[in-house]
Each structure stands twice: as C-alpha cells, then as structure tokens.
Amino acid sequence: MWRRRFVALALLLILLTGCARPWAIEVSWKDGSLGAITDERWRAWAEAYPGEVVDDHALPLERALWEMGATSIEALVVGKTSFSHTWAEVADDAWLRDDGRIVLNGDVQEAEALIVASPPEATLATAHVTDVAPTICRALGIGAPAAATGVALDAPDAERAVFIFLDGLGYRRYDAGRERSLTPYLDTLGQPHLALSVYPSVTRVASAAFLTGAPPAVNGVRGRDLRDTASETLFDVLAANGLTGVAVEGDALAFNMRNAEIILSGDRDGNGHSDDNTFTNAMDVIAGGMPDFLWVHFHGIDDTGHTYGPDAVEVDMKMSEVDGYVRDLMEALPEGTFVVIAADHGMHAVNEDGRQGNHGTLQPADILVPLWVTVR
C-alpha cells in the first residue's frame, strides 16, 4: 500500500511541476569565455521580467544573452553544426522557450550550444551611458547619484554643465555620416567615445541610465512602459546641493524628472517637428540666465528614422539640421561650460506597422552610441 501511495505522490509532483525536464544550453563567446543558460535561470528571468514573456512560455533570446553578459551581438552560431545567423537577420524574432528550444524567425530549433559573436567595435568601447551622470557631477564638484555604477570620465571643474541628448544617433550612423560631412560641427569636437547603451536600447531605459548612472537592473527601469525610477537621479543630486536644473524637451516628456524645471517645446510652428522649438527654448534659457545644469533633448533624428528608415536621405538632412543647432547652442553658452553630448540608442531598418526603422535590440546599430565630452 505504501508503495502505491509513494508512486501516486511522485506522479502528482511531476504533474505539479509541469513534467518539466532540466535543460542547459552552453553559451560561449568568441573571446573563449563560457556560461550556461538553464531552466532555473529561465524561470528566474521570467519572474523578473513578466512583461516580456510571450504565450506563457517564451522570453526574448536577447534577454537571456544580455543577462549572461552580452553587450552587443553581431552574429549567433546555433548548436555544434556551425549554422550561423547575423544578429540583424533574427534579432526582432528570436525567442528562448521554457523547454530549452530557441525560435528564430518562426523556426523552432534544438540548441545544446550557442556561440555569440560581438562586433569588433565592442572591444573598443571607452564609455557607457551610465557614465553621463557621474561625469557631470564630477565637473560640478558634487557626488554622483547614490546608485551610480558608471565612471566619471575626464572632466575639469566647471560652474555650469550641459547635456545635449541626440535621440537615435547610433555610432555607426554617425560614423557613416561623418564620412560624408553631414555633421561638420560635431566633427570639430574630435573623435567621440564609442559608448555602450543599455538593453532594451530604448529612450526611457537609456534616460534612466543617463540620470541615475546605473543600469536597468539597479534603477528598475527595464522596459518601454516605465518612466519613473525610485533611484536618486542627477536632478535630485543637484537639488540636494542647492543647484538649479532645467530640462528642455520636445513635444512630450520621455522620462519623468524630479526636481527639474521642465520646458516642453511642442511643434508650435506646425512643421511636424519639435527640434526647432527645442532649440529656440534652449537658447532662451541660456539668454535668460544659465542654470547650473541644462538638459536639451533633440528627438528629430529618432523620429525621422522611424518614419523613413535609418539610412534615408531624410535622416541625413535631420542630422545636419541638429548639428547646426548644437553648434549654435555651444556658441551661446558661457565660456567654461562643461558639455556632454550623447545618444541613447541607434536604429536598424525594418518594415513593420508603417515604420521603416526601429531599435531596442542588441544589434550594433542600436546599442553603440557616440559620446562627446568637451568644454565651451
């Protein structure tokens, strides 16, 4: 009798655990390091990121690779058959199922092993978007936000600082434009830092990283649907030290900024863009009495890339337009003002839902961004 009860109990336990079998996928990097994605890790990530789980059984493969340490992906080799994919081919439809299988563009594959190749530039990265807040704080002589993990780049002492936010200008796109002299003023500032952004590579997540100096796992902003953080921000630190901060945004506030004076620019002239009005408002702030810190967010490169595609001539024109705004802002600033100029993410080409460009992945076009540190 006890044997029957034992068997029944064992069967019940199997049913309650969904008959799940343990599994592991060996992950190796081109630099030779190793790791493993396991069923236990899958469940932990699903619990941490419930909004990313699809049909109750699949997570973005990028999420798993990011959690394993990937910062940018150029290509993926599946299994031990050396069947290779460029990440651009599969990034938008790559999933890891709860049974250990992966799905690439709808094709379900067994994957005992994965080899991840990073782009050549990734090893040359000299900055990260989390470095922005610590760098500005160092220049102003105040402590970085409490949770900051980024490092302070070289920064001289300054009475005032400015952050110019070039939404959607990826490093590769900037580099291609530089070869055609699309950004003559930015080019005079010298070679920018090659910086890594965060995953997902979207404005709200990157904005939180800019402001807190911390990655998503620390500041809690892990997706497009979040626009607040409980972590201390750059504007919080400014206020705590008796300093003033003004944020000039476009037609909408991408991320909530406590302790900042917010100026929304909108499309006052009805030309379909807000960058010209953002520029005008920023110039008015400078002329009216420069605050201790000024944040200026140009959205146009990103907006234009979504509409026409990242490599479109319309994006070329927008890059040149924004470059002119940056030049004029720099010339209007008081001498000695410390300036950081950076992008939150880049963009890759798509054809979906009326969009020709999108971002959010670990593709180099999305995740690698330029970052300049300079003084007026």
Q: Is pLDDT at 284 greater than 80 in this prediction? A: yes
- Report, as an integer, the average pLDDT of 345-358: 91
CATH number of residue 225's parent domain: 3.40.720.10
Are 152 and 110 members of one domain?
no
72 phi/psi in degrees, rounded to 5: -165, 140
pLDDT band, very low/low/confident/very high, at 291 (cuts 50, 70, 90): very high
- Tell me: do 342 and 230 sit in the same domain: yes
* pTM of the full structure: 0.91
- Residue ending a domain, among 118, 145, 171, is 118
Contact predicate 193/373, CB 8 Å: yes
pLDDT tens for 117-168 read: 988 888 889 999 999 999 999 999 999 999 999 999 999 999 999 999 999 9
Q: What is the pLDDT of residue 340?
A: 98
Residue 3 belongs to a domain: no
Is it the case that residue 38 has pLDDT exceeding 90?
yes
Predicted pLDDT of residue 147: 96
What's the average model confidence in pLDDT over 172-188? 96
Are 80 and 207 found together in one domain? no
Total domain count, the chain: 2
Q: What is the per-residue burial (b if ≥16 Cβ within 10 Å, else e) of 65-90?
A: bbbbebbbbbbbbbeeeeeebebbeb
Whether residue 151 lies inside any domain: the answer is yes
Give residue 290's domain range. 122-375
Q: In this structure, are 67 and 164 located in the same domain?
A: no
